[in-house]
Amino acid sequence: MKIEKVLERFGIKHEVTSFIESNVTRLDGNTLYYKSIPSALLLLNHYNLYHVLLEDDRFDIKGTMIDLSRNAVFTVDYFKSVIEKQALLGFNEIWLYMEDVYELEKYPKFGYLRGKYTLEDLITLDHFASDLGVTLVPCIQTLGHMGQFLRWSSSGYLKDQSDVLLITTAHDLINDMIAFCKKAFKTDKIHVGMDETFGFSLGNYYKKHGYKNPEDLFIEHLGVVNDICQKHQYKDVYIWSDMFFRHRSETNSYYDYTITFDDMIKKIPKQVGLVYWDYYNTDLDVYKKMLAKHQQMGRKVIMASGTWIWTKLAYDHKKTKMTASKAIEASKSLGIKEIIFTQWQDDGAYVDYDTSFLGLFDVTSLMVKDKLDKRYLKTVTNRNHQDYMYFSSINDCGFYPIQLLWDDLLLGIYLNDLVGYDFNKITPLIACVNKQLRKIKQTDHKHHKLIAEVLRLKLEIRQLLLKGYFESKDFSLLNRKLTQFKTKMKALTMSFEDMWHDRYKPFGLEIIQTRLYAQIRRADEVTYWVKAYTNHQVDHIPFLEETISKEGYLPVKHIDLAFSSKQ
């Protein structure tokens, strides 16, 4: 029996004599009722280790979505290790978010220099996951988020906007995408994306065909994509739901539960399910109202929350608890049976992905009313729960770590917005990093230690630069800190390289290397200006004479923080 083989594979001891498939997972004497093999793995392994029976999480599907399209494409071996760990935490479905990182023979620039998966790669992963009772689901894009492919002039005939496909010419491409997925994965479930298609039909489509109602065109295209999916024998077709709301909302808002869909509902193919993504709201009422609004559309609904690793250097425990807890509670109260926790990798995939397992532990613990023993995380990942919490603590210091990491030492776009020229406001930030660094040093993980040390040095350098310029005119300590910074930044770059080589295909690392290594040279530019100023070659440092005005929102992307110009 398959489940017994999986239990034996992981060395999970038990006294179960009867295994019965069910809509819940529970142990009744020597009989195990189970809805999925991963849910059984979690229940029996946890009970065997800690003699605590976990209650059923009340979801038929508890899954993740792994972003493989932001430069970091998992190697097959690393992906296998991720699948195993997720299975042991009870996750029975994994969506592979792939914009262009799979091979299409007719389109040589599709996934070009991006580490794309071969058909053999994905078949291998799919079989490996299936043996553990985990379903791999292709999560692709069939309209927007195609900028990586559309950047090439040879793809120009397929372009509406820079990020959006031209619907009149993209049908053959989409057919090949879906045909490939059907060959690669055994599942009859596919996610076709179509989220955030801003400017759809108002670019090259408009030039060729004139204005037509974008909502009508969007639903028409969805019908075409659905027909292609049906042709390739997909039973369940899913779409991110945001554009339905944005088209109808007077403010172009996703989170607008005042709108109605009466006439639209009839036009949406019945096979199409809706994925409500919400990683940001902390108000339970918003989740309930939005889920209810989705249910009114009469289609299958999946909740997509998130374990916060995107725009982070380490998983953010507090952010996830504040948001995912509400998504879980709302889903249970409205009878939603499928929940997916997204793991985006926006702007370059620089997070230590292994810290995401604390996130999966967190959401699983929320589902079973905090009865999950913290020691179980080490059983799964070979690292203590407390270690992961220490890594996450860098997110709790009153500044955004990645914005500080990308902030240029001289321009100071982020720190100007955060503290202005008031160097005294930097003192508590340094104190907090010191506190978290003391925690991190209790672990054996050099990568997170280096992150904290580099962030502290950036704060110290900015403080010393401001204080020296506006008050003391003494830059002697600043020069020593700049030397330390260059040494630590080189070490951090090498640490990222080691992590990348161990887990990912080689493509994409150049993004991280370029961003980090350039800062070493920028440290020399600080030295140049300070020396020129102290030697009276210049009478001011131009970067510190700009008038500062605070932004209502400052982006987290590297291009918005590291440069004075976006050209």
Query: Any idea which residue has 């230690």 for tokens?
Result: 449
Residue 438 pLDDT exceeds 90 = yes
- Statement to judge: residues 248 and 330 lie in one domain: yes
Q: Which residue has the tokens 């999480």?
A: 57
Residue 546 pLDDT exceeds 90:
yes
Strand partners, 460: none
| Residue 155: predicted pLDDT | 98
pLDDT for 188? 98
Q: Is residue 567 a part of any domain in this protein? A: no
Listing DSSP states for 378-441 in one string gives HHHHSS-HHHHHHHHGGGGSSS-HHHHHHS-TTT-HHHHHHHTT-GGGGHHHHHHHHHHHHHHT
Of 344, 331, 325, 278, nearest in space to 305 by CA:
278
pLDDT at 258: 85
- Domain for residue 244, yes or no? yes
Instruction: Give the residue-averaged pLDDT of 274-302.
Output: 96
Alpha-carbon 328 to chain mean position = 18
Please give the DSSP secondary-structure letter assigned to residue 202. Answer: S
Is the pLDDT at 15 greater than 80, yes or no?
yes
Q: Of 56, 83, 103, which marks where a domain is finished?
A: 56
Which tokens go with 24? 């819940």
CATH code, domain carrying 250: 3.20.20.80
What is the pLDDT at residue 264? 86
Q: 567 pLDDT exceeds 80? A: no
Residue 518 pLDDT exceeds 80 = yes
pLDDT at position 20: 97
pLDDT above 70 covers a percentage of the chain that reads 100
* Mean of pLDDT values over 143-172: 98
User: Does one domain contain both 327 and 415?
Assistant: no
pLDDT score recorded for residue 511: 97
Q: Are residues 374 and 470 in the same domain?
A: no
Same structural domain, 300 and 215: yes
Whether 52 is covered by a domain: the verdict is yes
Pairing of strands 135-139, 93-97: parallel
Nearest in space to 459 (alpha carbons), one of 508, 419, 487: 419
Question: What whole-number distance in Å separates Cα of residue 55 and Cα of residue 367?
Answer: 9
**Tokens 């406001």 correspond to what residue?**
425
Q: Do 187 and 164 belong to one domain? A: yes
- Domain identity same for 349 and 416: no
Task: Identify whether residues 470 and 495 lie together within a single domain.
Answer: yes
pLDDT exceeds 80 at position 118 = yes
User: What is the C-alpha to C-alpha distance for residues 295 and 471, in angstroms, rounded to an integer?
Assistant: 62
Structure tokens belonging to residue 69: 């399209």
Full-model pTM: 0.97
Residues 279, 409, single domain; the answer is: no
Closest listed residue to residue 146, CA positions, set 197, 106, 180: 197
Whether 233 and 177 share a structural domain: yes
- C-alpha distances (whole Å) from 384 to each of 137, 359, 387, 457, 566 are 30, 14, 5, 28, 42
Burial level of 13, CB count in 10 A (0-12/13-18/19+)? exposed
* Structural domain for 77, as ranges: 59-389
Q: The domain spanning residue 492 has which CATH number?
A: 1.20.120.670
Sheet holding 26-28, edge to edge: 18-21, 31-34, 26-28
3-state secondary structure of 170: coil
What is the per-residue pLDDT for 259? 86
Main-chain dihedrals φ then ψ at residue 529, nearest 5 degrees: -70, -40
Question: Coil, helix or strand for 319?
Answer: helix
Closest to 292 measured CA to CA, from 334, 247, 262:
334
CA–CA gap between residue 492 and residue 498 (Å, rounded): 10
Q: Which two tokens stand for residue 38?
A: 């991963």
User: What does pLDDT average to over the chain?
Assistant: 97
Does one domain contain both 449 and 489? yes
Q: Report the chain's terminal Cα–Cα distance, integer Å.
A: 60
Q: What's the structural domain count of the chain?
A: 3
Average pLDDT of the segment spanning 63-85: 98
One domain, residues 147 and 261: yes
Q: Do residues 162 and 173 touch, judged by C-beta distance below 8 A?
A: no
pLDDT given for residue 566 in this prediction: 86
Supply φ then ψ for residue 455, to 5 degrees: -65, -40
Last residue of a domain, one of 389, 414, 432: 389
Beta bridge partners of 136: 94
- Pick the last residue of a domain from 370, 389, 408: 389
> pLDDT, tens digit, for every residue of 290-324?
999 999 999 999 999 999 999 999 999 999 999 99
Q: Give the C-alpha separation, 63 to 69, whole Å.
A: 18
Percent helix, strand, coil in the chain (nearest 5)?
Answer: 50, 10, 40
Taking residues 155-178, report their average pLDDT.
Answer: 98
Q: Is residue 21 part of a domain?
A: yes
Strand partners, 93: 63, 135
Query: Nearest 5°: CA angle at 21, between 18 and 27?
Result: 55
CB 503 within 8 A of CB 530: no
Give CA torsion, residues 349, 497, 356, 350, to 10 deg: -30
Q: Is 566 domain-assigned?
A: no
Residues 358 and 459 placed together within one structural domain of the fold: no
Report yes or no on 148 lying in a domain.
yes
DSSP secondary structure letters along 45-113: HHHHHHS-PPPP-S-SEEEEEEE--SS--B-HHHHHHHHHHHHHTT--EEEEE-SS-B--TT-TTTTTT
Number of separate helices (H) and strands (E) present in the chain? 22, 13
CB 57 within 8 A of CB 370: no
Name the residue among 57, 41, 30 with its Cα closest to residue 6: 41
Mapping DSSP to helix (H, G, I), strand (E, B) and coil, where does residue 340 land? strand
pLDDT tens by residue, 28-48: 999 999 999 999 999 999 999
Residue that is written with structure tokens 């830059």 in the block: 475
